[in-house]
Amino acid sequence: MISLQDKIVLITGASRGIGAATAREFVAAGARVALVARSSDALTQLAAELGAARACAISADLTDPASAARIVAQTLAMFGRADVLINNAGIGYRAALLRARPDQIAQVFGVNVFGALALTQHVARQMQTQGGGHVINILTTASRIPIPFQGIYGASKAAFEMLTDTLRIELARSQVVVTGIYPGTVATTFNQNALREGETAAILEEYRADTSVQAVAHAIMRAAQQRPRATWLSGRGRRYVIASVLFPTWLDARMAETRDALEPPPPQTWDHLFKNS
């Protein structure tokens, strides 16, 4: 098991939720953290809570092309190296695909894919010069299953998942390890803060939180110590992923039921996924 004592851990989306809890876990384990988020006030408060010797706050918008280089430069100026990168920042989007707005699609991909990749490129290059490091990406089962009204979000995370798996292979010779974390549905404000287009705000009971913030943060910290290929926290999510491979027609019908629960169909609507609806 790898010691985290005095390791330098860069965490995006660190101002609240999983990011803030993860920062606390790493500091408790002896690490030092560079906290990145757009919310400067919350970041400053968290950094003060963790202590000036253990944390620094870096306010940045990952959709800004110049932010990645600045984040790395500030981390190196404060701590001199970067041992672990946790790509936790993300933005949700709840909209039917035919109602999805181009500007919002661009925003989702800007944070979830392009911003995360740009930061990873800069940090991983630094890790290569240091002789190794660890990239931990927060993924989702929504990248594997077609959840109605989350297609744009799922597509962005599917792209990020492919980048994660490819980076794992490309960086292995540089002793840079890449881990994917699949948290499940977590009790945070993520869904409430998601972009929305149309009347799809309802959240079905079965898709409510099945994982706590603290459990995810602890799993991320343990992953940094053990360096697995991937960590799955939600048994429910993993069962759906398995079903998508073994029983895809069943899953289509199941997701159509979810669609109808979120947006009930007009009377006498024909649905080819069912005999009749």
Which tens digit of pLDDT belongs to each residue from 149-188?
999 999 999 999 999 999 999 999 999 999 999 997 755 5
Q: Which of 247, 249, 274, 250 is nearest to 260 (CA)?
A: 274
| 78 and 182 Cβ atoms separated by less than 8 Å | no
Residue 190 has pLDDT above 90, yes or no: no
Answer yes or no: 93 catalytic. no
State the catalytic residue, choosing from 153, 182, 207, 240: 153
Taking residues 260-266, what's their average pLDDT? 82
- Structural domains of the chain in order of their starting residue, each with its CATH number: 8-234 (3.40.50.720), 247-277 (no CATH)
**pTM for this one?**
0.88
Which tens digit of pLDDT belongs to each residue from 44-94?
999 999 999 999 999 999 999 899 999 999 999 999 999 999 999 999 898
- Six-digit token pair at 98? 């035919």
- Amino acid code (one letter) for 232: W
